[in-house]
Structure 1
């Protein structure tokens, strides 16, 4: 029989995590007093979650909460490199931190796979890929972030780190797989018309916004009634400057239209936090 396929590429960090850092790990042993967790992101590092840090409240049996082989997201409470001790907490990790860490780790696993694809294409060994991956982590804190940088800035930003040929392959994969995040700008119109058909006039003014948006590529507009006399508008675009330019054009057009139709109005900007 042929040998089993080599395990997937995982590039681990050297050194120790920092106190306060959120990490991913695999439970290796469960004792009455706590659980030992192998850190998936760090080379040969294991931490311990004391039973009091597993879950809130009193714990009768730790095995009701953690099991061997389970993947867990932990917060690093303390590190003692001299003794090789890493104290972890599961209960101190918020739901938001957990979601974000899982997504970050999924992205990193995808990036490792992309490195494997490039390595296969260029005939590189596993050791060479690990060396390249560690260089990227040192420079960008994660392999995935290096791909993101490449998607935005082009292969040239990575050429000095991984070589031109490898950087070009990274750029190609990045363009195919990483979509730049969309940005949003928003605010609300306060529009009034005292004419008999005032509602129709306001509607006509707002509809002008969609005419303006058509002139801008890849922009999505949404207008909703908030409550008299307010109408919120949200613009979504690939680029913040384009979104701002489109919003200014929309505001000018809508306010000029409502004034021309005998009404009055103003615009209040809202900031998305």
Structure 2
């Protein structure tokens, strides 16, 4: 069961709940992220549209996203609303929930490998990643990308870091964005030295972030292909712009002609 560090949610939190009991006056829900803590959904908080019976909206065993509208931490009493959850909030929470489930599975596999419990995995790894990266799965994505270093930075000890990094790399495949450009570069006066200088000028001028790959291909002079792969569109676009600007500047300085076009469908 995916878990939170807190024993009860806070006011206005979005939570995942499983409908346990349905009555004419409302429904009781168990909160999946809080150890099955029991919460209540008043009848008036079930739907913003008219219905004849609460059972038209809810059914026992149904999982849904709810919003916390009242909470008494001392007495561990929580009231929820279904009707106050917007479509955007529901989508966002479900994404968060799925990421948390994937994170817990990786922690569980690491715990099994080290002959430890899932509770120990959360204590030694999970909560430290949450403190450092803001989300456990975000920390595991970093581990998939950068290995043990990403975990050690968060205060995870070396033994756990090695096990978790290995499992993260096996189970998390980060999506990549690819951009490709056709470059036309001619250096009549400077010849091959000017050409090489222009095509490699970016290497000293542009810093390539970790996880990004840059490749050049010769298609037959004066045509060259530039491929850039990054983890998101923003980084790929920014790096493309910087590399092309650097090549253009060096080309112009050597009296070369330079032009490029972005390739569609790449």
* Cα distance in 1 for residues equivalent to 2:42 and 2:226: 60
SS in 2 for 1:244: helix
Name the CA shift for 1:134/1:217 in 2 (closer, same or farther; >3 Å): closer
Please list, as runs of the form range in 1=range in 2, the aligned pairs for 1:184-203 lying within 5 A after superposition: none
> Which is worse superposed, 172-181 or 69-78?
172-181
On the 8 A contact 2:228/2:236 being kept in 1, the answer is no
SS in 2 for 1:41: helix
Structure 1: any 5+ residue segments left out of the alignment? 1-8, 186-210, 220-234, 253-259, 261-273
* Cα distance in 1 for residues equivalent to 2:19 and 2:124: 29
Q: Are residues 1:170 and 2:164 paired?
A: yes
* Cα distance in 1 for residues equivalent to 2:165 and 2:102: 15
Name the CA shift for 1:242/1:35 in 2 (closer, same or farther; >3 Å): same
Q: TM-score, with normalisation over the residues of structure 1?
A: 0.62
Name the CA shift for 1:243/1:15 in 2 (closer, same or farther; >3 Å): farther
Give deviations 1:46-73, integer Å, cap 9, x for gaps. 2211111111123321011111111011
Match of 2:241 in 1: 244
C-alpha RMSD of matched pairs (Å): 3.3
* Cα distance in 2 for residues equivalent to 1:113 and 1:154: 18
On the 8 A contact 2:106/2:168 being kept in 1, the answer is no
Q: TM-score, with normalisation over the residues of structure 2?
A: 0.64
Q: Are residues 1:86 and 2:78 paired?
A: yes
Match of 1:20 in 2: 12
Please list, as runs of the form range in 1=range in 2, the aligned pairs for 1:115-134 lying within 5 A after superposition: 115-132=107-124
Name the CA shift for 1:63/1:238 in 2 (closer, same or farther; >3 Å): same
* Cα distance in 2 for residues equivalent to 1:46 and 1:251: 64
* Cα distance in 2 for residues equivalent to 1:143 and 1:56: 34
Give deviations 1:14-72, integer Å, cap 9, x for gaps. 23222222111111111111111111111352221111111112332101111111101
Match of 1:4 in 2: none
